[in-house]
Amino acid sequence: MRDRYEELGEGAREHVLPSLGAAARADCATLFEQFLGDAGNFAYRAVVIHSDLGGRHVLMDGTPRAVGIIDYGSACIGDPAGDFRPALFDFGEEFTRELLADYGHDDPDRAVRNAYFCRVAGAIGGWLEGVREGAEWKIDNKRDALRHALTAYTERPGA
């Protein structure tokens, strides 16, 4: 995964960052440096994950209690913390930290920090896909997604 994210960072420097403002470029650079510079981000036991476990894929009953999970189209082998990342954006940091604690995650700070990175990286990856395909609509969509991801990062608790 390190190679994939390094390649993504190179693509971002070439195709994405030049069209961003100085603050957004700096935030992207910081996120990539922090993520790639922490060997612990790559020291996990890979498992099968849903990989898109946001609120829209969790079925709730009236109590509210989770009663089902849908849409396994993005399931893959990856970092078990990956399934907790969408919770940060759908339910907030406090809920996500409680969820990580209940799960027994050994480094919730890393998991939360990486959720911001992965949201930014996902938007950049989609933007680069749009560049490769010549799909301006996709670039526009991911430009908006990146703006929202960077806003969440800059407005995070304790920022």
Confidence of residue 47 (pLDDT cuts 50, 70, 90): very high
β-partners of residue 49 are 76
Higher pLDDT, 60 or 150: 150
Report if residue 105 sits inside a domain.
Answer: yes
Neighbouring C-alpha atoms within 13 Å toward the C-beta of 105: 21
What is the spatial distance between Cα 142 and Cα 104, in angstroms, rounded to a whole number?
A: 33
The single residue listed with the structure tokens 């893959």 is 76
Q: List, for residues 59-91, the tens digit of each pLDDT value.
A: 889 988 889 889 999 899 989 888 888 889 888
In terms of residue numbers, what domain contains 61? 2-154
Report if residue 159 sits inside a domain.
Answer: no
The residues, ordered by sequence, that sit 6+ positions from 33 with a Cβ below 8 Å of its Cβ are none
The CATH number that applies at residue 34 is 3.90.1200.10
Query: Count of domains in the chain?
Result: 1
Report if residue 96 sits inside a domain.
Answer: yes
Query: Residue ranges of the alpha helices (H) in the chain?
Result: 2-11, 22-36, 85-91, 93-103, 108-133, 136-154
- Give residue 52's pLDDT: 83
First vs last C-alpha separation in the chain: 27
Q: Is the pLDDT of residue 1 over 90?
A: no
Q: Is the pTM of this model over 0.85?
A: yes
Q: Is the pLDDT of residue 58 over 90?
A: no
The DSSP symbol for 99 reads H
